[in-house]
């Protein structure tokens, strides 16, 4: 498929193009670049050519912009040496000086150089670490185009390593981050990365849909836009969507014209634009061939050929494939085979196994059209074996990658579960501590409240005893004036208290009447008239509760069960309820307070 051929060829030729770029820089440096340095009293005109050492010897004499330029040139020279450590040292020196002088353009360039260095040497771990440092720097300085542009480089590294599912995951993370920051360019770059990952796993339908969504969001002066046009038109061609391919290629051409105008307006070089126009014309030619417009296609291909004659490495490979398609449609099969052989050579040189198989398959199809069935059948057999082997290898690679991702996901899930369990445990512990603190605080408040209540009860009991003694004296003087019922009720209360008749849980009106030498009917009538609405049981229980309180104050060692029985309660539940009702606390709480008061008084 042309799309995956373009993707793999781009990844494998990027380092070659960068190498060419390095050589060009070195050539320019060695022949024409001069660094002028200013000191307090003198100026130095230094011609930098041949070696970095000649520049380094002059660094102590350089200051400011001159020193920064010199370090940048050293980094550029080192960029072409294919020695990683040497290159990194030069870039680090350049970056340190850029940071020291706070020159933003140089700071950005140095960080990009270092990231590309790790990309070129296939150093995933170092690239990941450097990427995080770059992202932090870009985010702090609102350099979002560099932020997302560098991040996509990591996904491209995964694609070049044939880790397309990992690249997919990385680009989705980029897209989510761009959505959080509401960054249009970031989302577009992430979508293009997702589309390239889809091509890598042969999901061409999703790749087409993703490119259709990404391309309108890219600015016309962004290089990713034109790479995306190449892939998108190839995908449309493979799917035989020729009308749509032509429309997209026409849009591509308009964007290139717009870019050309801006370059001329800003005084920028347009030397690289003919290659982009050549790719665009090839896409238009493919669409015209598919639509049957061979004359228009021939015109476009001739324009591409003129560019290819100047720079065969750039457009030649795809042009050979397009010419093969053109001559096949023109039924000039000999010419088609000629260009097909060139395409096969291109695939061999690029090490593109899939593209090579597809080129051989196309060759077999052309042989069939030429009625050369024997050679076509032989070629088909070899193709099928090679394709099965490649498919098996590709499937094995993808399976290994998915297994790795699954293992990573499981580790992340386990760590997340451990983290959640730890958080839950901490929360539970915090809640328990809070509850314990609240309980302790509540108990302390309750204890203080009960202690205050105990003091008031003690004072009330003392006052009541005094009042009762005074009332007894008054009642003795008034006894002669009381009627029979009042006199009987008064005598009943006295005898209950003096003889502690209430301690008998079976005490009845008959027993009390016998103690008084009266009749239970008279006793009942006296209680009804003089007892303020209380029954005999209530009167007895009142004496029992008050007596229990006295015993607790006197003897804090008493058990609650024994105390209830001793004061005349047959049921501990009734004793507990009436005691709390009377004193506002349980017998146990009353006992503890009485005990604390006793200890406090003794000390």
- The domain spans of the chain are 475-602
Contacts with 476 (C-beta within 8 Å, 6 or more apart), sequence order: none
Instruction: Report the pLDDT value the prediction gives residue 384, as an integer from 0 to 100.
Output: 74
Q: Is 414 left (phi over 0), alpha (psi -120 to 50) or beta?
A: alpha
| DSSP annotation of 222 | -
Instruction: Report the pLDDT value the prediction gives residue 538, as an integer from 0 to 100.
Output: 87
Residue 483's H or E segment, with its range, is none
Question: What is the CA angle 518-522-524, rounded to 5?
Answer: 120
CA distances from residue 335 to 100, 376, 387, 518 in whole angstroms, order as listed = 62, 17, 26, 144
Q: Where are the alpha helices (DSSP H) in 141-163?
A: 144-160
The Cα 132–Cα 138 span in angstroms is 10
Model's pTM, two decimal places? 0.60
For residue 405, the tally of other CB atoms under 10 A from its CB is 15
| DSSP annotation of 216 | G
Low-confidence ranges of the chain (pLDDT < 50): 5, 12, 14-49, 314
Whether 561 and 553 have beta carbons less than 8 Å apart is answered as no
CATH of domain 475-602: 1.10.10.60
The Cα 110–Cα 103 span in angstroms is 11
Q: Where do the DSSP E strands lie in 71-187? A: none
């Amino acid at each position: 498929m042309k799309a995956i051929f373009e993707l793999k060829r781009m990844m494998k030729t990027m380092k070659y193009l960068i190498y060419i770029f390095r050589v060009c820089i070195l050539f320019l440096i060695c022949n024409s670049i001069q660094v002028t340095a200013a000191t307090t009293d003198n100026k130095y005109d230094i011609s930098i050519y041949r070696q970095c050492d000649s520049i380094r010897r002059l660094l102590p004499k350089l200051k400011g912009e001159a020193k920064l330029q010199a370090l940048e040139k050293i980094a550029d020279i080192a960029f072409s040496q294919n020695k990683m450590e040497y290159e990194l040292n030069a870039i680090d020196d350049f970056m340190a000086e850029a940071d020291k002088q706070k020159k933003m353009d140089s700071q950005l360039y140095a960080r990009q150089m270092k990231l590309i260095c790790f990309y070129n040497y296939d150093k995933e771990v170092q690239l990941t670490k450097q990427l995080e440092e770059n992202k932090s720097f870009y985010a702090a300085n609102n350099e979002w185009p560099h932020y997302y542009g560098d991040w996509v480089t990591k996904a491209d590294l995964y694609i070049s390593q044939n880790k397309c599912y990992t690249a997919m995951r990385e680009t989705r993370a980029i897209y989510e981050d761009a959505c959080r920051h509401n960054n249009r360019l970031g989302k577009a770059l992430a979508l293009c990365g997702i589309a390239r990952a889809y091509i890598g796993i042969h999901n061409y339908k999703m790749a087409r849909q993703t490119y259709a969504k990404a391309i309108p969001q890219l600015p016309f002066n962004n290089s990713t836009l034109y790479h995306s046009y190449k892939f998108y038109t190839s995908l449309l061609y493979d799917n035989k969507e020729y009308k749509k391919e032509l429309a997209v290629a026409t849009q591509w051409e308009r964007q290139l014209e717009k870019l050309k105008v801006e370059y001329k307006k800003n005084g920028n070089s347009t030397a690289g634009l003919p290659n982009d126009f050549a790719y665009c014309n090839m896409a238009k030619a493919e669409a015209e061939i598919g639509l049957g417009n061979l004359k228009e296609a021939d015109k476009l291909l001739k324009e591409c050929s003129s560019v290819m004659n100047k720079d065969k490495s750039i457009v030649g490979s795809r042009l050979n494939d397009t010419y093969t398609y053109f001559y096949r449609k023109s039924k000039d099969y000999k010419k088609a085979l000629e260009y097909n052989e060139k395409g096969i050579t291109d695939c061999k040189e690029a090490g593109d196994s899939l593209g090579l198989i597809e080129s051989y398959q196309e060759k077999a199809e052309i042989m069939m059209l030429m009625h050369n069935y024997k050679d076509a059948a032989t070629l088909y057999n070899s193709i099928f074996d090679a394709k099965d082997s490649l498919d098996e290898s590709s499937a094995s690679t993808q399976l290994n990658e998915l297994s790795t991702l699954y293992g990573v996901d499981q580790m992340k899930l386990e760590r997340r579960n451990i983290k959640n369990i730890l958080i839950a445990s901490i929360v539970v512990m915090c809640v328990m501590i809070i509850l314990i603190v609240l309980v302790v605080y509540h108990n302390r408040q309750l204890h203080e409240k009960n202690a205050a209540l105990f003091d008031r009860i003690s004072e009330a009991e003392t006052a009541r005893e005094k009042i009762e003694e005074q009332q007894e004296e008054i009642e003795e003087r008034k006894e002669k004036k009381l009627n029979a019922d009042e006199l009987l009720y008064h005598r009943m209360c006295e005898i209950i208290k003096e003889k502690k008749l209430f301690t008998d849980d079976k005490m009845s009106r008959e027993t009390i009447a016998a103690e008084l030498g009266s009749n239970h009917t008279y006793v009942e009538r006296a209680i009804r008239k003089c007892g303020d609405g209380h029954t005999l049981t209530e009167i007895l229980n009142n004496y029992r509760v008050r007596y229990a309180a006295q015993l607790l104050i006197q003897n804090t060692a008493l058990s609650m069960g024994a105390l209830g029985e001793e004061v005349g309660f047959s049921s501990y539940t009734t004793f507990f309820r009436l005691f709390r009702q009377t004193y506002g606390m349980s017998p146990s709480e009353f006992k503890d307070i009485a005990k604390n008061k006793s200890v406090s008084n003794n000390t």
